[in-house]
Amino acid sequence: MSFTFLTSEIPEDFLAFASIKYTSCTFGYGLVESPLFVPAYRRDKTITTYDAPGAQVSSSLQEVYGPAVELNEQYYADKMAYCRAIWATECNPNGSCPQEGLDEVLLGRT
């Protein structure tokens, strides 16, 4: 990055600022660990069929939907750890890794 000024136009505070040697990308900033709350919904769906004689229950089906991370927690934990190990830097500890496993999938059917 370069700046072009006429000598008489250079502000004194700019010269003081420009003379600072930055040792890292976090100079003047601090990293703070804070919890991240992500909404994950779980829903149940029940289908009851009344086709038996006398309008009795002939079949009942219950489906449970929720985030994919509930099916295989270790897979998504390992995937995030691998991404962080490859892409993390001092300035970006999470490595811009996506949070996967939050999409809704069928968890069970009875």
Per-residue pLDDT of the chain (110 residues; tens, 9 = 90+): 444 444 455 556 655 555 555 556 766 667 677 787 888 899 999 999 999 898 899 999 999 999 999 999 999 999 999 999 999 887 788 888 998 999 999 999 99
- At 86, phi and psi to the nearest 5? -85, -45
> What's the structural domain count of the chain?
1
60/30 Cα distance (integer angstroms): 56
Is 99 among the domain residues?
Answer: yes
Q: Is the pTM here over 0.85, yes or no?
A: no
Cross-strand partners of 49: 59
Tell me, yes or no, whether 12 lies in a domain.
no
Domain range enclosing 87: 33-109
- Asked if residue 74 belongs to a domain, the reply is yes
Tokens 């992500």, located at residue: 38
Q: What angle do CA 87, 22, 94 make, to 5 degrees?
A: 20
CA 14 vs CA 3, 10, 11, 18: distances in Å = 11, 7, 5, 6
Query: Phi and psi (nearest 5°) for 53?
Result: -55, 140
Structure tokens at 20: 């600072």
